[in-house]
Structure 1
């Protein structure tokens, strides 16, 4: 553990320290107010729409707000709901792969990893499929703001445009659902509201924004990282071909080996000791998930990819009160996508050229990953 001047926070890199930090209620997830205090007044005013939206995300809240908001989402993201989506997700995977098969090549990101989770989360929210490009564009504008290695005025402006456009779109959808509710997630949130679990307008907009953003961004990176890691480790590709039922453990290994989420940040709500180090109130604690997932004290041969690894309690989805709500859905989408690629294109290989990584300190994935199917 050490203090990083570049990140202005205490970096936790060992598995046990990161695990303990996830479970420590003295470490706050309310990051937006602290971030805002660091900005010049002119930028803070311009970023107002973004910070207001993020401030009501359940992942950036503490109890009691966190308990209330998560309780509403728990009713929608149930194991039964996830399992009921299996046939639909499989059909979408097959449809996307059918579209690229005749060409003999595809970009794993553009043709599969991007559209699949966006379509799935859009359908869960009852949104038209033809709007998925808008949803993805707005999400990309926000990604450039969250976790960017170097923030620029252009990124700020893009984030404001993205959030503003998304909220305007959602207001229209919410107004329509109030008149004609359905079986979708937005209708469920409105029904819960009518039963007394009140959400103010900003909380409703923010919760829908979080679901749209979080419901696909991590899964996109997981699918891309999985295909890339297997192509980089041909022995593991062959092991999975021989034992296709191991796709479940293979996805867990990718989550550990090449985590789509590399870090999370907490703020000390009081003077606290973490990993033997006293951290004053208000200072940041950076939970380095990617490092914790490679801790040799927790994982034998941590730098070796093993799709058959048995003990694999990685921290990619967090732990404790903030464990990722969408983890079962993301896992299922990745398992079905990876299984279909292996089954249909057993001789898959990398196309020429270098795949382009996303430039982000928090999210790890690819902008593009061209492959040959034959």
Structure 2
């Protein structure tokens, strides 16, 4: 497809995969779906780039990835990263602007001190975690909170709930730029922490700093949250902006 239309494809695929994660997880491994379509696109695109010998400078490491994993596995990994990085960052930015539009005092504080931008990103990730739940399969039996979990038993971890735990975060339902203390779990923790964490935080700060430069005030007009238990974000957000 024309490069100008690729973002349309990514948005369509992302929306379908998002729905699949929420209500059709059992179907994700049972035949053709949007995840397969997106993977096939990136596999073929990668094949074309390698055959043409014109890998973009930022993607020079892909040749090594293909050597290590094979073309199909490399392309599928790129598709996953494209979905995960795009979908979560879109909702991080939308969720952040939603809360700042409803909190004029916090927006004013940001304009007075741009160093708070990183705090705004962190608080958004805590309060409105783009990824609300993740799955884990323990390799060995484990006891959590007095409950024994069998080996290879599917566990669904509710990240969004953990980030609003009143035992860990005072007044947990409030958006607070001055919040200090425990780190949020939006990117996971430990060996499986999200590899895109630093990039997502950097993107959120960059967008917010640009917004602070261009807009003196932002006010809410209308918003519609997605009906999805896996991804937390907005289907639509309308703001009134004053330069």
TM range, normalised to the smaller chain?
0.7 to 0.9
* CA distance in 2 between partners of 1:334 and 1:342 (Å): 12
1:102-251 maps to which residues of 2 (within 5 A)? Answer: 128-148=3-23, 151=24, 160-179=32-51, 180-184=53-57, 187-194=60-67, 198-251=68-121
Contact kept in structure 1, 2:121 and 2:204, CA below 8 Å: yes
Query: Residues 288-314 of structure 1, C-alpha deviation per residue, up to 9 Å, x if partnerless?
Result: 112211223322332332112233411
Question: 1:185 Cα deviation (Å)?
Answer: 5.8
Question: 1:366 Cα deviation (Å)?
Answer: 0.3
The 3 A distance-change label for structure 1 pair 176 and 152 is closer
Matched, 1:336 2:206: yes
Q: Unaligned regions of 5+ residues in structure 2, if any?
A: none
Contact kept in structure 2, 1:270 and 1:280, CA below 8 Å: yes
Q: Secondary structure at the match of 1:174?
A: helix
Matched, 1:321 2:191: yes
Q: RCO higher in 1 or 2 (8 Å CA, sep ≥ 6)?
A: 1
TM-score by structure 1 length? 0.58
Give the count of matched residue pairs.
Answer: 238
Q: Secondary structure at the match of 1:160?
A: coil
Contact kept in structure 2, 1:177 and 1:187, CA below 8 Å: no
Instruction: Tell me which residue corresponds to 1:360.
Output: 228
- Aligned-residue Cα RMSD (Å) equals 2.5
TM-score by structure 2 length? 0.87
Matched, 1:370 2:238: yes
Contact kept in structure 1, 2:101 and 2:107, CA below 8 Å: yes
* CA distance in 2 between partners of 1:346 and 1:324 (Å): 34
The 3 A distance-change label for structure 1 pair 349 and 176 is same
Q: Unaligned regions of 5+ residues in structure 1, if any?
A: 1-126
